[in-house]
Structure 1
């Protein structure tokens, strides 16, 4: 294991840096670099030190953000579209999580974003492999950044990132106990997470029907398609289940006039609608249009392959940001529909703090599906948790309006975020920031 190049800047907040010919505002303190997690597999990380007017970064938590896909870039999408200090127009973000925590973005798995592999054979095949790679990166990171070893460390995630975060958190819990990784692991938060894929798919029809986006005929067609996915999962044919999942998404779109899977109240872009009839290449065509392209929209790609690449100064010439994204998804296709509910159970049994949070308007990972897998947990506190009433949280943007509900018992919590889709920090930034502070015990 070796990390190659590391860059670091320490300048006034949002000062303009003409760094390597670029004109990119930068945080007060940033650091980035590569870790060779395996031979031919190179993972990129980017750290923003917390920038709070009321506390030093040493008094605030460290949060690692993991994007979904698999193949979505944390350093790109999570950073510039959701929680980083700057938006994709390089303007300051008022609801940046850097205001309440140091934030570590990792392009994970290898092949995602600026991370890359020398050959496609080196791409990950399942979440166990993803977790092993991440242990190498975290061991390197905490050895390099010793000031973070005692600071509470949380993993926050979104979509498939949650599935990976669960596996990573369990492996990290064991590594910390064994002394092989020095960090103060404080918990994991699973946002709109692909923990039990079949529970999501099986609730698409009822959810769309209840929101007047399917009629009786449409509900019948979606239910039939979803049952085909269920049958493949029951038979352990997970690669086939991924194909059937894609077909079910097509059936949903055909019956809802192209509902947006990430937010049912937001229209798909013209580009996505125009290509919605292209179903000739099965799930690959489908995933590119629905789940890869939205995370690599042209404006973001131009930013990451232009000014940001120049600023960082360590990206190899042969690496294009997002260039291996589709290959990452294809390599993980056999693992895509497998559940990891048992891993969440193991985390809870080990005493790890687990938070689930979900957006009300999300379809791809709808809240009803999340409720189903949570009720499958063998966690000994579940019976009491289920009997609890939730507590309303006021919307930070609109007084006297409910922004979310939550309940927590022992080491498990659930947040229901209203008026938000799949990308909660994008849709409800102030509420997401408040949730972050609550989960990390700042409120």
Structure 2
């Protein structure tokens, strides 16, 4: 069942390393793992390009995108942290300057990953985690040089919910000897860990930033409370539908605020607010389409597909993204705070980081679920004062704050929305180095 196909290559002129006079070449490899019968998962690895150290002396970071249905190999790679941007120019703040990068199109059906039938799509995070363990087992068996390398999982949005579940199953698999790797921690970025804590704070957050008046606040609060009632009754599919309605109420009262960065206009969203016949259409429009812009789709289905040379002829990048989202509908509004608690209790290093300008997963909501943790260190963490971090590109400006206690840390990233590496690339790279103990 576990079948690993690997292709390797050399990509030149992809990164400018600190202290290096010119571009640095980096080796890459990519391939598929059949994680289940009829379920094929795609991964793409970049070796680190630090001019002063071998890639073997730097950590391995796996990046997981959100959605569910957003492509790590596409959006995370070319829009956020990979060595090249969407125009195939070098990215100065690429994470390959500080780590080996593993992008995985997860869950199956996302990006270049695919399933033979819709029945093979995942239904919940437990199924997603089980698939990922199969992939990681195959990856580390085939890439034995990384088995002792500190391995971190970084994530964004719904990817954080998946990352938490994957991290817990990975700790179990390592103890059983099923996966050979040096798991060093998980980082949850603007993550959908506790959906209701995000939804119930949308109104107060928008009101405090002058994006709602009293009437709008009342309407958004009423819609959010309806979602809460559905969750309390265990009606999670209904809660997803009501969540979509709440987003529509937000759009109507804010003249189309951008859910991913409240200070950034989103003309595509504004133009399509009335598109789609049902709530699932609206959800896909808001949370899947932004990860599959036409220019990115053309890149991934054109020159990148040709370069990789292993994508089946009947597979289109992002072609099953909508189906992935629909298949996860019943799991979407379920919280995983208890999983984070289990990770902390097991001694796993957990980092939470969030963008100041994010609405969909606002920082207020993140702080709420963190305060609900049963972790023994929470009282001590809460009593700490945060430490400011200067902007790496403007030393006199504060770019973030952070707190660390034992195996838990929290980063507040200023002037950033949902996609922190896109909005604050230099700060995101600095945070990576701090989390991976390079600073």
Query: Displacement, 1:139?
Result: 0.1
Cα 1:401–1:240 change in 2 (3 A) is: same
User: Which residue, out of 393, 396, 401, partners 2:392?
Assistant: 396
1:97 and 1:103 in contact (8 A); partners too: yes
Q: For 1:370 and 1:438, how far apart are their aligned partners in 2? A: 21
Query: Displacement, 1:12?
Result: 4.2
1:3 and 1:33 in contact (8 A); partners too: no
Counterpart residue number, 1:20: none
TM-score normalized by structure 2?
0.97
Counterpart residue number, 2:345: 349
Query: Displacement, 1:14?
Result: 3.8
Q: For 2:296 and 2:31, how far apart are their aligned partners in 1? A: 20
| 1:199 alignment partner, SS class | helix
Counterpart residue number, 2:3: 3
Q: For 1:418 and 1:67, how far apart are their aligned partners in 2? A: 21
Counterpart residue number, 2:275: 278
2:13 and 2:90 in contact (8 A); partners too: no
Query: Displacement, 1:277?
Result: 2.0
Query: Displacement, 1:289?
Result: 1.6
| 1:306 alignment partner, SS class | helix
1:197 and 1:337 in contact (8 A); partners too: yes
Query: Displacement, 1:10?
Result: 3.1
1:11 and 1:26 in contact (8 A); partners too: no
Matches within 5 A, 1:206-355: 206-269=204-267, 271-278=268-275, 280-281=277-278, 283-355=279-351
| 2:314 alignment partner, SS class | coil
Counterpart residue number, 1:64: 62
Matches within 5 A, 1:21-420: 28-269=26-267, 271-278=268-275, 280-281=277-278, 283-420=279-416
2:2 and 2:134 in contact (8 A); partners too: no
Q: For 1:338 and 1:261, how far apart are their aligned partners in 2? A: 20
Query: Displacement, 1:6?
Result: 1.4
1:5-41, Cα deviation, whole Å (9 max, x unpaired): 31101354449xxxxxxxxx99520000000000000
Q: For 1:300 and 1:200, how far apart are their aligned partners in 2? A: 29
Q: For 2:24 and 2:411, how far apart are their aligned partners in 1? A: 32
1:68-95, Cα deviation, whole Å (9 max, x unpaired): 0000000000000000000000000000
Q: For 2:194 and 2:98, how far apart are their aligned partners in 1? A: 31
Query: Displacement, 1:288?
Result: 2.2
TM-score normalized by structure 1?
0.96
2:62 and 2:152 in contact (8 A); partners too: yes
Query: Displacement, 1:279?
Result: 5.5
2:284 and 2:325 in contact (8 A); partners too: no
Query: Displacement, 1:54?
Result: 1.4
Unaligned 5+ segments in structure 1 are 16-24
| 2:330 alignment partner, SS class | coil
Cα 1:38–1:27 change in 2 (3 A) is: farther
Cα 1:300–1:27 change in 2 (3 A) is: farther
The alignment's C-alpha RMSD in Å is 1.2
How many residue pairs get matched?
432
Unaligned 5+ segments in structure 2 are 16-22
